[in-house]
Structures are given as structure tokens and as C-alpha cells.
Structure 1
Amino acid sequence: MQDVEKEMMLIANAGEARSKAMEAIQAAKFKEVDRARTLLAEARVSSRTAHKIQTSLLQQEASGNKYEVSVLLIHAQDHLMNAITVIDLAETIVDLFEAS
């Protein structure tokens, strides 16, 4: 996989993870806790896929292959960090809706 392709896949998977987490919050808001939990599980799968891509980029650089930092890579990293944060928050919000 080419570097740009990796970056685009990182963006796509991180974006999918964030979207699923946001859907989970909406489902919990409407007392659809089982659906919310399913969406969170799907979000974690997409997040793990994105993280594996990120790890491959890190390993590439750690092995001595210089990796050019581009705006696209920065954007991809931003998407992944946001996805992880939203998933963490969504899990807590779903728990709160479930307990209420």
C-alpha cells in the first residue's frame, strides 16, 4: 500500500469510528442501549484498523525509512485522535443513559 493510500485509509477508518461513536450516543439518548453498544463495538473495530495503519507508518519510520510528514498525514492523525476521544466519551455517555 502506498503512503498516500495508507493515509487515506487511516482517515476513512478513523472517520468511521467517530461516526459510529456519535451514532451510539444518539441511540443511547433514545434508550436504544443495545444498539448503542453494537455501534460502540463497531467504532472500536474501525479505530483498531486505523491504529494498525498508524502503527505500520511508525514502524516504517522506526526502521530507518524516512517518512515525509504531509498535511494529509497530519489530518489523518487528527482524525484518529478525535475518534479515540469521541469513543471514550461515548462509552461514558452510553453508560450514563443506561443507568438513568
Structure 2
Amino acid sequence: MENMELVCFQIISSAGMAKSSFVEAIKAGEKGDFDLASDKIEEGKNFLNQGHGVHATLIQKEAAGEKTPISLLLLHAEDQMMSAELTELMASTILSQQKKILDLEAELSKKAS
């Protein structure tokens, strides 16, 4: 397959950018900025979709009979994609919990007043 290294690095780059966006979302949530957190989640999903698009091209070529050379670089790229997907799930869960905590704190504050 032509330019296999380039394809792998496109996947790795997209996954890395996605993970960074998801971590930025968590940090924004810690500060109570859920609008920014939501934007960062969407940004991360867009990066992840870019990586999936490149990955899907590999799968389509292999389904059409073109063999994909397996390399450590390809394995690393796929590992990074899975890691980014897990980071997305964790970020979404953490943000949901952060919102609940802030809501409960606000409710307790009202009751204490």
C-alpha cells in the first residue's frame, strides 16, 4: 500500500489531537466552563472522525483485495485511535459528573441560606 507511513501518521495525529481536545474539555469542566467543554468535546469528535476516515480507507482497500502491510507503526496508530475513543468516553462521563456535583453544591448552598 502506497504511503503507508503517511496514513499511519495521519491516524496518530488525528487521535492525538482528539485526546488533547477531550482533556481540555475535562479541564474546562473543572472550572465550570461547560460551554467551552462542550466545544472541546465536539472538536475532539471531529479530529476522531478524521482519523476514522483515514482508517476506513485502509479497511476498504483491504476489503477490495489490497493487502495491508502490518507494521509496528500501524499497530501504534490503531492503539492511539482506541485510546482516543476511551478518552472521549471518560471525558463525557467526567463532565456529566462535574455538572451533577455543581448542581448539588448549588442546591445545598440554597438550603443553607
TM-score by length of 1: 0.95
Equivalent position SS for 2:10:
helix
**Counterpart in the other structure of 2:91:** 90
d(CA) in 2 for partners of 1:81, 1:55: 14
> Higher relative contact order by CA 8 Å / sep ≥ 6: 1 or 2?
1
Q: Does 2:52 correspond to 1:64?
A: no
Deviation at 1:79, TM superposition (A): 0.4
Equivalent position SS for 2:98:
helix
Deviation at 1:6, TM superposition (A): 0.9
> Deviations for 1:21-40, whole angstroms, at most 9, x for unmatched residues?
01111110111111110000
Q: Gaps (5+ residues) in structure 1?
A: none
Deviation at 1:99, TM superposition (A): 2.1
Query: What percentage of aligned pairs have identical amino acids?
Result: 30
d(CA) in 1 for partners of 2:83, 2:15: 8
Q: Does 2:6 correspond to 1:5?
A: yes
d(CA) in 2 for partners of 1:88, 1:60: 29
d(CA) in 2 for partners of 1:6, 1:17: 17
Q: Gaps (5+ residues) in structure 2?
A: 102-113
